[in-house]
Structure 1
Amino acid sequence: MENPVLIFGAKGLGLVALDIFQRNNVVVYGLLDDDPNLHHTQIGEYTVLGNTDDDGFLKLIGKKCEAFVAIEARTERKDLVEMLNERRSVMPVNAIHDTAVISSFAEIGHGNLIGARVTFSPKAVLGHHSILHTGVSVEHDAIVGNYVNIGAGSVIGSGAVIEHDVFVGSGATIVSGVKIGKGASIGAGSVVVENVPAGSRVFGNPAKKV
């Protein structure tokens, strides 16, 4: 990435993104966060500059500065992405850890955070603005939608489909070919062996509806 990046979010996920960009030798302009207690504080050599909707900083984003949204809460993340689309006509960049292994035959969208030691196999597809935490494995031909959050150490089997807005807890296994419907939640450590309807919550081994 040639341009510097402005990170939206200065808490947990913001620090993960900051670490990723540092490791990739990307210049970080600073961070924005709506918590006033963080404003003008330092994270290492970087400053929390102000609110996420501060026009003075938003006007930097465009041809000479990129944006990355590091907010774990899905609704807030969506709102910020839409704001950047509308006010700056930009799409947030990806934050991909340097230890992640992504096949050249995989398809990756925009605005995703891909953590340390994530593996993404050939012909796997990842949409936009999703979060794949440390050690996630996405096998060949699997599809992961937009605004999906996959917890550390989870395995998405070959040909599985994870629709938009899904939450997958840490250490879960989605068996090959299983489909997880939009907005569903999978509990940590669950083993999902059959399709999960949209909006459902499942937990256990094998996973059952909660």
Structure 2
Amino acid sequence: MDKPVIILGAKGIAHPALEIFNSNQVIVYGFLDEHEKLHGSEINVVPILGHPEDDGYLKLIGKKCEAFVAVDDNKYRQFLVQMLNEKRKVQPVNAIHERAYISTDASIGHGNFVNAQVTVGAGAKVGSHCIFHTGAIIDHTCELEDFVQIGAGSIINAGVTIKEGAFIGSGVTIVSGITIGKEARVGAGSVVIADVKDGETVFGNPAAPIKK
């Protein structure tokens, strides 16, 4: 990556995203965050410049800088991605740690956060704008749609399908062949042995729906 990166967001995954770009010898120009109290401060000597919707900074993206969206909240993440697509006609770049492993025949989209020790296996298909925390395993032939989040140390076994916007907590095990529905949530430490419906929240070993 020849151009420096502007990171949208300065909380949550923003700090580890900076470390990922540093690990790949990519310069981070600065952060943009919606909270004004952060403006003018720094993360590891990299400045928080202003607001993500400030055209003065956005105009740099696509010409002089690349962009990465470092926001955990999926709705705001989607808003910022759409803004970059429409205003700047760009897709956010991937942030892939140098100690992550992505199989040579796996496919991966744009704007993904892939932290250290993550494994993406052979034939896996990963969409765009996903978040994979430290040590997550995405085994061979899994299919993950856009805006999926996988917690640290979770094991997604072979042939699992995870639909758009689903959230998988830390330390989860999902057995082979399972489908996790759109915007479903799986609580930390759960063992999933049956399909999870769209919008459903499950927890436990074996994971069971939580009644609202």
TM-score range (shorter-chain normalised) is: over 0.9
Q: Report the AA paired with residue 28 of structure 2.
A: V
- Give how far 1:42 is off: 1.6
Q: Secondary structure at the match of 2:18?
A: helix
User: Alignment RMSD, CA only?
Assistant: 0.7
- Give how far 1:65 is off: 1.0
CA distance in 2, matches of 1:130, 1:65: 21
CA distance in 1, matches of 2:12, 2:82: 22
Q: Which residue is equivalent to 2:80?
A: 80
Q: Deviations over 1:59-106 (max 9, x none)?
A: 000133100000000000000000000000000000001100111110
Q: Deviations over 1:152-199 (max 9, x none)?
A: 000111000000010000000110000001010001000000111111
CA distance in 2, matches of 1:63, 1:103: 31
Q: Secondary structure at the match of 1:12?
A: coil
Q: Which residue is equivalent to 2:30?
A: 30
- Give how far 1:21 is off: 0.4
Q: Which residue is equivalent to 2:2?
A: 2
TM-score under structure 1 length normalisation: 0.99
CA distance in 1, matches of 2:35, 2:16: 18
Q: Deviations over 1:126-148 (max 9, x none)?
A: 10001000000000000111001
Q: Which residue is equivalent to 2:122?
A: 122
Q: Which residue is equivalent to 1:102?
A: 102
- Give how far 1:44 is off: 2.0
Aligned 1:51-66 pairs, distance under 5 A:
51-66=51-66
Q: Which residue is equivalent to 2:20?
A: 20
Q: Report the AA paired with residue 185 of structure 1.
A: R
Query: Which segments of 5 or more consecutive residues in structure 1 lack a partner in the other structure?
Result: none
Q: Deviations over 1:2-43 (max 9, x none)?
A: 111000011121101101001110011100001111101122
Q: Which residue is equivalent to 1:208?
A: 208
Aligned 1:55-204 pairs, distance under 5 A:
55-204=55-204
Q: Report the AA paired with residue 38 of structure 2.
A: L
Q: Secondary structure at the match of 2:3?
A: coil
Percent identity of paired positions between Structure 1 and Structure 2: 53
Q: How many residues align?
A: 210
